[in-house]
Amino acid sequence: MLDFNSHDVSEHLAGLIDAAMERDAAIHPARAYLGASSLGEECSRRLQFQFFDAPKDFGRQFPGRLLRVFARGHRVEDWMADWLRLAGFDLRTRNDHGEQFGFAAADGRVRGHADGVIVGGPASFRYPMLWENKAVGVKTFRELQKKRLAASRPVYATQIALYQAYLGLHEHPALFTAVCADDMTIYAERVVFDRGLAQRASDRAVEILRACDAGEPLPRISTTPTHQTCRSCPWQDRCWRLPH
């Protein structure tokens, strides 16, 4: 029996919380569509596995600690929304029906849900404009500062371009914000609509869906399973067991 008065119970408590979060995550239904938030990822075959909700390799499910990181991101998004409103921005995170702003295409098999739309506020901005926020670590934050969004995080840039296109918010630049989880520093960037990027992402979604319908695995991103993208993929073993 643990003596909670004389022992460090950090590991024990974290284990209980992580196990509970992993059980909770397991009962939530998977997304049966290609998400705008992932269409900028490098590997199309990975997106096929994701679309089919293929079982992840043993031990590659999201651990509780990472689920807590995701939860932190949602809370930071709520805080950033509150801060924008305090600063005088008329930010809407739900439409008139109380639903998150989003779009569906290809018979609902391609979807996306935006963080919000800003319809008014300080005169230094133009409205309406899409708003998208991320909570990031210090490394990503510094890369955003140095290289800006499109060069440092193309997945985010693709996501924003698709939202601007499908939600009809392409006339004015989007507002992208990122909050550094280490010290709560804010990064902000106006993102001009990239029509070509949105079109390429849409065309890619069609290509992936056609391959899924035909039961054809798309080419791997690499010729070796030790490629950086492959090493971090939850379907690495399953993918490399396929004949091609």
pLDDT score, position 28: 73
pLDDT at 111 over 80: yes
Rounded to 5 degrees, φ, ψ at 190 are -80, 130
**Cis status of the peptide bond prior to 154, with omega within 30 of 0:** no
Collapsed DSSP state (helix, strand, coil) of residue 126: coil
Query: Which amino acid would we find at residue 132?
Result: E
Q: What does the alpha-carbon distance between residue 153 and residue 151 come to, in Å, rounded to a whole number?
A: 6
Element (H, E) at 55: none
Note the pLDDT tens digit of each residue in 211-220: 999 999 999 9
11: pLDDT confidence band, cut at 50, 70 and 90?
confident
Chain centroid offset of residue 17 CA: 24
The residues pairing with 91 across neighbouring beta strands, listed in sequence order, are: 118
36: pLDDT confidence band, cut at 50, 70 and 90?
very high
pLDDT score, position 4: 54
**Would you state the structure tokens that stand for residue 38, as one six-digit string?**
């992932």
Neighbours of 124 (CB within 10 A): 5
**Would you state the structure tokens that stand for residue 88, as one six-digit string?**
């005088």
Beta strands in the chain, from DSSP E residues, in sequence order: 34-35, 90-92, 102-105, 110-113, 116-120, 129-136, 174-180, 186-191
9: pLDDT confidence band, cut at 50, 70 and 90?
confident
Q: What does the alpha-carbon distance between residue 71 and residue 224 come to, in Å, rounded to a whole number?
A: 33
Chain centroid offset of residue 241 CA: 28
Could you tell me which of 52, 92, 80 has the C-alpha nearest to residue 239?
A: 52
Out of 80-89, 148-157, 163-172, 218-227, least confident range: 218-227
